[in-house]
Every structure is written in structure tokens, then in C-alpha cells.
């Protein structure tokens, strides 16, 4: 057993000696380098590594750019065969992500200890992968310069064109205004008022002579839009130096335009409390058409707009209501004679269709839905268009469709129902006992802004609701009578309603009374 152990120990010593000889022979074939980041070998000095055959030792310097300072880090070691071709030992290494310089040597062991690579300072900006050749840069600059120049020229041309067009329109406008100022007369020394008076005396209608009407559309200068509706738009215009209102109908409303023009041409229709008709004309070409209805212009606008902006005293309230009733009465009244006037019912009485004149009186406008009574044949001439009145102002019999369409008085009675609501609207803005309500439409507390036909029918016919009457109105003598008038006008029974003539006389007496009282008070 001892002999076996002895032989084993000898074999172990022999193997160890062989391994040492092989290791020493291998080391002798390589180069020892100084290394600061290499695996330690027990048979080599510390901080040393053994380069492979035909390889080199290296020293590398890396520059680190920090926010506040710049530092250098040095690396030493052995360069393998495969790395010698990658790093190339040519000094500055461009492909590195950080600035790095390397130097190599193979002159002897630890030759890289005193090796100092040449540090090259470089910008931290990454090197582009591809640089555009200078000749292409020049082409780009030239193309950019040409593009900017062309755009600038186009801009100048466009601005010049727009300015010249604008200037041309301004010159045309100035010319029209100058002609309007210089040609106040039509050519025969007659003003607009004179021509209308002449037309009335000749029996040709209530507006300008027909020959003048056929050319008026080309001579009118539209200034600004003052209102829109379901039929079209209303403009303020100038004709021969005078303000006019131009109602321009949609082409789809040709029947309404024709109907209203026909009614305004009615002989003896002209009245202080009916909107003054001037002319009707068609303007356009084959591709577009404008249907003009030219009337007097009233700067106060509609009664609806006027009540929103003004509170009233008792005299102003009665003047508005009485003048409106005079206009309706003139429409409703038939004038007999060789040049008589048929009775006309409006069918769309509301504050938006009543205009306020400069003197505080009213005139009735918008005859597009009106009907005429031909007494010779007892025939009711109904407009052929499909328009209907305003639902909020419709009488109960109209809402329930129980109007006798062959009985003309039924249309006049429906007008008086609507007029009763108009009087209520005006009365709300009158200061009684130091208080005036805000302007509101009839049934504002029961209906929303755009009620359906069924909503109005339910309130007016089924529930028989009428606008509320404040208690203080009853304590005022004038408001008490006016309240009685409006209640009788909106009676559910059409036959029980006041006629326009009766309302006109009642309001006229009230107006005379308050004017007399005011006169006596001022004298005393």
C-alpha cells in the first residue's frame, strides 16, 4: 500500500513538471504587457497580461465630456490577433461613440507602460453618416432662392389685383352716390314723392309709374342688410339720393313676390298707416334672379324691435296702437266707386310686420299672405302660395281649421284676434305706477320660442289661456279701457270680437282725451 502511494506521488510530480514546462514554453512564445483591467495569472507579475503570438500591447485614452468638466480615462492591456485588425492601432478612432485615442507597441515586455497616445480634441457633435456634396448644396440654395422669388412675385401680383378690383368697386360706388346726390330729380323735375302722387292721380296704382319701376332695380345701391325672414332679406338702399327699403325675395318665393306686388299696386291702397310702396322689379341674368320689392324706409324698424329698446308713456302707447288700428281698418274697408278699393285681410298681423315711423306712428307691412274680397262676385281671392301665418298669433278657429274660407269676415276676425295680442305686447312696455314689464311675446310663459302647431292649439283652444293682465292696469283709467279692448279682440267667439273700425274709434277717442288733458295741463 505504501508503494502505491509513493508511485502515485511521483506520477503527480512528473505531471506537474510537464504542465509547468508547457506553460513556460507557451509564455515564451508571447509578449507580456502592462494591464490595468485584465484577469490575473498566478505565474505572471501583478497588473500584467500575456499577449497572444504576433499581437501587441496597447495604451488607450478616452476623453469624457461632463457638464462641468472634461476627464480622461487610461486603459492598458494586451491586444489579441482578431482585435489588431479592428482597432488598427492608428491613433484617433473615429467610429467610437466617445472621443478615444489608442497607441500600440511590440518592442518588449511592458512596452506600453510609458506609451503616450496623441490625444485629439473633437467636437461632441456626432459626425453625420453622409455629407451632401458641395455641388448639391449649391443647387439646393439656388432652388430655394428661385422658389422664394417666385412666391414673392405671385404675392405682389395677387395683392395688386385685389387692390385694383377693390378700387374699381369703390369708384363705381362713389360714382353711384355722386349721381344719387346730383340727380335728386328723375329728369322732369319730379321727386320720388311727386311721381308717386302722379301715379295715384292717374289711377295706375299706389307706387311709381310702371315705366319707372321697370328700370329702378338697376339704379338702386344696396347699403346694408337690415333683416331676414322666411321669404328673403330686407336691405337699406339708396335711390336717387333717397333712402328706400329693398325686400329681396328668394327665387323660390316668386309667388309671394308677385302676390305682394299685386296687392301693393291696388288703387287707393296708399295710406299713412300702410307701408309706402315704391316699385317692384326683377334684376338678374339667365343664371340668377333677384326679385325686388322697394318700399319706404323707416329707421326705427319693426314694432317688435322698437318695444325691445323703448319704454312708453300712455300717450306713446295709444299713438302706436291707434295708428296700427287705422292701418288695419283701411285694409279691411272696401271703397266703392269706379276707382274703388277692395277689402283686404292681412292674415299675418304681428309686431314684426308692423313698422314704427319717425313720428311715433305705425304702418302695416308684409302683405304676402293677404286676401281680397271681390264684392261684385262675392269671391274671396286667396293667395296661391303655401305660406301660413305665425302660429303664436293664430286665432282659435284657425288653429282648429274651422274657418269658413268663403266668408271674408272670418279673415278679418282672425286679424282682430292677432291685433289684440299686439296691443297686449305694446301695453306691457307702458310705464304704469312707475313699472313697465320687459318686452315679451304673447304666451311667453306657456310656449317656448318656436312652438309647434299642436302646442299653440292646446294652450289657446283646449285650455283657453290668454295673456295675463297685471292688476295695476285696472287701476289706470286708460289702461282699463285698453284692457277691455284687447280682451274683446281675443274672444274665443269670432263674432264677438271688435271690428277694426270700432277699435280705431275707441282708441282715437282715448288719444284725443289724453292729448287734450296734456294740453290743458300745460296751459295751467
d(CA 524, CA 521): 5
Residue 99: exposure state from Cβ atoms within 10 A (0-12, 13-18, ≥19): buried
Sort 295 into a burial class: Cβ within 10 Å, 0-12 / 13-18 / 19+. buried
Residues in contact with 237: Cβ distance below 8 Å, sequence separation at least 6, in sequence order? 220, 221, 222, 223, 243, 244, 245, 246, 294, 297
| 504 sits in which H/E element | helix 500-523
Q: 142: which 3 cell numbers?
A: 439656388
| Identified catalytic residue from 281, 296, 348, 415 | 348
Contact, 264 vs 277, CB < 8 A?
yes
244 - beta bridge partners? 237, 296
| Three-class HEC string of 201-250 | HHCCCCCCCHHHHHHHHHHCEEEEEEEECCCEEEEEEEECCEEEEEEEEC
CA 324-207-345 angle, 5° bins: 40
Torsion from C-alpha of 216, 218, 221, 225, nearest 10 degrees: 90
CB 324 within 8 A of CB 362: yes
Q: What is the DSSP string of 372-435?
A: EEETTTTEEE---S-----GGG--HHHHTT---TT-HHHHHHHHHHHHHHHHHHHHHTB-BTTB
Beta strand 221-228 with 100-105: parallel, antiparallel or unpaired? unpaired
Q: Angle CA(486)–CA(405)–CA(422) in degrees, nearest 5?
A: 20
State whether residue 516 is helix, strand or coil: helix
C-alpha cell at 22: 508547457
Print burial letters for 69-90: b (CB count within 10 Å at least 16), e (below 16): eeeeeeebbbbeeebbeebebe
Three-state secondary-structure class, residue 314: helix
Q: Of the candidates 371, 392, 404, which has an alpha carbon nearest to the alpha carbon of residue 490?
A: 392
- Strands 31-34 and 48-51 turn out to be antiparallel
Residue 348 is a catalytic residue: yes
Q: Tally the residues of the chain.
A: 524
Residues contacting residue 46 through CB under 8 Å, at least 6 positions apart: 40
Q: Hey, which residues are catalytic here?
A: 348
Amino acid at each position: 500500500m505504501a508503494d502505491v502511494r509513493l508511485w502515485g506521488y511521483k506520477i503527480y510530480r512528473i505531471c506537474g513538471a510537464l504542465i509547468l514546462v508547457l506553460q513556460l514554453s507557451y509564455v515564451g512564445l508571447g509578449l507580456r504587457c502592462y494591464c490595468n483591467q485584465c484577469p490575473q495569472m498566478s505565474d505572471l507579475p501583478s497588473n500584467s497580461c500575456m499577449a497572444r503570438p504576433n499581437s501587441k500591447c496597447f495604451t488607450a485614452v478616452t476623453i469624457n465630456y461632463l457638464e462641468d468638466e472634461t476627464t480622461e480615462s487610461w486603459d492598458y492591456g494586451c491586444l489579441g490577433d482578431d482585435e489588431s485588425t479592428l482597432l488598427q492601432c492608428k491613433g484617433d478612432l473615429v467610429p467610437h461613440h466617445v472621443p478615444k485615442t489608442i497607441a500600440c507597441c511590440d518592442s518588449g515586455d511592458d512596452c506600453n507602460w510609458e506609451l503616450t497616445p496623441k490625444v485629439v480634441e473633437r467636437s461632441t457633435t456626432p459626425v453625420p453618416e453622409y455629407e451632401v456634396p458641395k455641388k448639391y448644396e449649391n443647387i439646393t440654395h439656388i432652388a430655394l432662392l428661385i422658389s422664394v422669388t417666385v412666391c414673392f412675385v405671385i404675392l405682389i401680383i395677387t395683392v395688386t389685383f385685389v387692390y385694383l378690383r377693390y378700387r374699381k368697386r369703390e369708384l363705381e360706388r362713389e360714382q353711384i352716390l355722386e349721381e344719387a346726390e346730383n340727380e335728386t330729380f328723375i329728369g322732369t323735375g319730379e321727386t320720388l314723392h311727386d311721381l308717386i302722387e302722379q301715379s295715384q292721380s292717374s289711377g295706375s296704382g299706389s307706387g311709381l309709374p310702371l315705366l319707372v319701376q321697370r328700370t329702378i332695380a338697376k339704379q338702386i345701391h344696396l347699403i346694408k342688410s337690415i333683416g331676414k325672414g322666411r321669404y328673403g332679406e330686407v336691405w337699406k338702399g339708396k335711390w336717387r339720393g333717397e333712402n328706400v327699403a329693398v325686400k329681396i325675395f328668394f327665387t323660390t318665393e316668386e309667388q309671394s313676390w308677385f302676390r305682394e306686388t299685386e296687392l301693393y299696386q291696388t288703387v287707393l291702397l296708399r295710406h299713412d298707416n300702410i307701408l309706402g310702396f315704391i316699385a317692384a322689379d326683377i334684376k338678374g341674368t339667365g343664371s340668377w334672379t333677384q326679385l325686388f320689392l322697394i318700399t319706404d324706409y323707416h329707421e326705427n324698424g319693426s314694432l317688435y324691435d322698437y318695444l325691445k329698446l323703448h319704454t312708453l308713456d300712455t300717450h306713446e302707447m295709444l299713438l302706436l296702437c291707434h295708428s296700427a288700428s287705422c292701418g288695419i281698418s283701411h285694409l279691411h274697408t272696401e271703397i266703392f266707386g269706379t276707382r274703388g278699393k277692395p277689402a283686404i285681410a292681412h292674415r299675418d298681423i304681428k309686431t314684426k310686420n308692423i313698422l314704427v315711423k319717425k313720428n311715433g306712428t305705425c304702418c302695416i307691412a308684409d302683405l304676402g299672405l293677404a286676401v281680397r274680397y271681390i264684392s261684385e262676385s262675392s269671391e274671396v281671392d286667396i293667395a296661391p302660395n303655401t305660406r301660413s301665418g305665425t302660429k303664436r298669433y293664430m286665432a282659435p278657429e284657425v288653429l282648429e281649421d274651422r274657418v269658413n274660407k268663403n266668408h271674408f269676415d272670418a279673415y278679418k276676425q282672425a286679424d282682430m284676434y292677432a291685433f289684440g295680442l299686439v296691443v297686449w305686447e305694446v301695453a306691457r312696455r307702458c310705464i304704469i305706477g312707475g313699472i313697465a314689464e320687459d318686452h315679451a311675446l304673447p304666451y311667453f310663459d306657456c310656449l317656448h320660442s318656436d312652438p309647434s302647431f299642436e302646442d299653440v292649439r292646446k294652450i289657446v283652444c283646449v285650455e283657453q289661456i290668454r295673456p295675463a293682465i297685471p292688476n295695476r292696469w285696472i287701476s289706470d283709467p286708460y289702461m282699463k279701457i285698453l284692457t277691455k279692448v284687447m280682451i274683446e279682440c281675443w274672444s274665443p267667439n269670432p263674432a264677438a270680437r271688435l271690428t277694426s273700425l270700432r277699435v280705431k274709434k275707441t282708441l282715437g277717442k282715448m288719444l284725443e282725451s289724453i292729448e287734450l288733458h296734456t294740453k290743458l295741463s300745460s296751459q295751467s
